[in-house]
Amino acid sequence: MRIIGIVGARPNFMKIAPIARAFSATEHEFCLVHTGQHYDEKMSDSFFRELEIPEPDINLEVGSASHAVQMAEIMKRFEPVCHEFKPDWVLVVGDVNSTAACSLVATKLGIKVCHVEAGLRSRDRAMPEEINRLVTDAISDLLLTTCEEGDRNLLAEGHPRERVKMVGNPMIDTLSYMLNKAGDRNLPARFYMDPGSFGVVTLHRPSNVDNPELLKNLLGTMDIIQQQLPLVFAIHPRTRKMAEQFGLLRYLESMPNIKLSEPLSYLDFLNLYSQSKLVLTDSGGIQEETSWLDIPCITLRENTERYITVDHGTNYLIGTNRERILQVFETVMKGRAKRRGELPMWDGHAAERIVEAIFE
């Protein structure tokens, strides 16, 4: 069989890495297509090196643009690749624009589509990723989920049982595989922090960072927190751009106990947050990674597509209300944060089950 795997943006790379490795141990041909949605050293290249992902066979080099233009470009450039390679399957991961655009192209050409990380639902259609999830799942032939919640959502939407299979979480494959490798980096020291006594912040959702009032309020909350707990803020390009545009970058830079950093490489970031006291984030994947590592996570969103991290993990789904954030912060500071429980099939072997599911 010939399979094309798709990656486009940063959160895809840690999911494809173990899948590419698992395929390389078989006789089947696995081609990797990078759409180029994320394109620079910090958002893309460093991940390929550190996660040992093979060089993409093809890079569509679409770059940044509006959603419609970006997806249209991906579709235009991916269609001829499908004609040339004639894959039996196109495998997509996650919920970014590249995921939905490539699924559409493949399915219209009669190529089977496998969606890894299917069935997650935030039920918030203002979130571009939620639209990408709905579209991709609606047209995929094989829906591989990370948790039971994914199965339940898909079955409730009327997907036939035989198309849905829980395989576990390939991002956790990467996390468990890379944990030792990240171990000898001393990231806290790079930011003049002591292990266990600092927090890590990441923020990039358009709903948080594209709105000046909300961003100002969130930064004000960080300002209060940093007076008690020093913070490292690995700032996403979108967030830096918006903070600058709203005149908030100077304010952020003026906070004495916040260290600002460029986006960090996978291993650097892992080394950093695995030694932190807590993480404040609006990311999807980090909710899962912190849960697995048993590190308290305050999620600055009103909803999540990953409720397993709230019910069985260390995630507090808090939103952007300052009082609520500070309340949970106090709980964590007093050492009363909840601990992780059972996370079924997050065992480092999801990629093998993904390969098996496709062969079946």
Tokens of 309: 């991290």
For the CA atoms of 199, 200, 205, 208, the dihedral, rounded to the nearest 10 degrees, stands at 30
Q: Which is nearer to ligand UD1, 38 or 121 (CB)?
A: 38
Distance CA 182, CA 169 (A): 20
Cβ 86 to ligand UD1, closest distance in Å? 27
Which letter does DSSP use for residue 265 in this model?
A: P
Q: Which is nearer to ligand UD1, 66 or 254 (CB)?
A: 66
- Kindly give the residue spans of alpha helices, DSSP state H, lying in the chain: 10-24, 46-50, 67-85, 97-108, 128-139, 148-156, 170-183, 187-190, 206-209, 212-226, 237-245, 249-253, 266-273, 285-293, 308-311, 322-333, 350-359
Q: What residue type is assigned to position 301 of the chain?
A: R
Residue of 56, 36, 37, 49 whose CA lies nearest to 267 = 49
| Residue 129: how many other CB atoms lie within 10 Å | 20
Cβ 194 to ligand UD1, closest distance in Å? 29
Residue with tokens 């898909």: 154
Sheet holding 199-202, edge to edge: 258-261, 231-234, 199-202, 278-281, 297-299, 315-317
Burial class (CB within 10 angstroms; exposed 0-12, middle 13-18, buried 19+) of 214: middle
Phi first, then psi: give them for residue 7, nearest 5 degrees: -130, 150
Cβ 262 to ligand UD1, closest distance in Å? 10
Which member of 34, 38, 115, 204 is catalytic?
204
Cβ 132 to ligand UD1, closest distance in Å? 6
Q: Which is nearer to ligand UD1, 93 or 255 (CB)?
A: 93
Q: Which is nearer to ligand UD1, 43 or 345 (CB)?
A: 43
Q: Which is nearer to ligand UD1, 43 or 333 (CB)?
A: 43
Q: Which is nearer to ligand UD1, 6 or 22 (CB)?
A: 6
- Interface positions with ligand UD1 (CB under 6 A): 9-11, 37-40, 43-44, 64, 96-97, 128-129, 204, 236-238, 241
Cβ 94 to ligand UD1, closest distance in Å? 7
Cβ 241 to ligand UD1, closest distance in Å? 6
Residue of 35, 56, 168, 157 whose CA lies nearest to 104 = 35
Whether 204 sits among the annotated catalytic residues: the reply is yes
| Residue 192: how many other CB atoms lie within 10 Å | 10
Could you list the active site residues?
Answer: 204
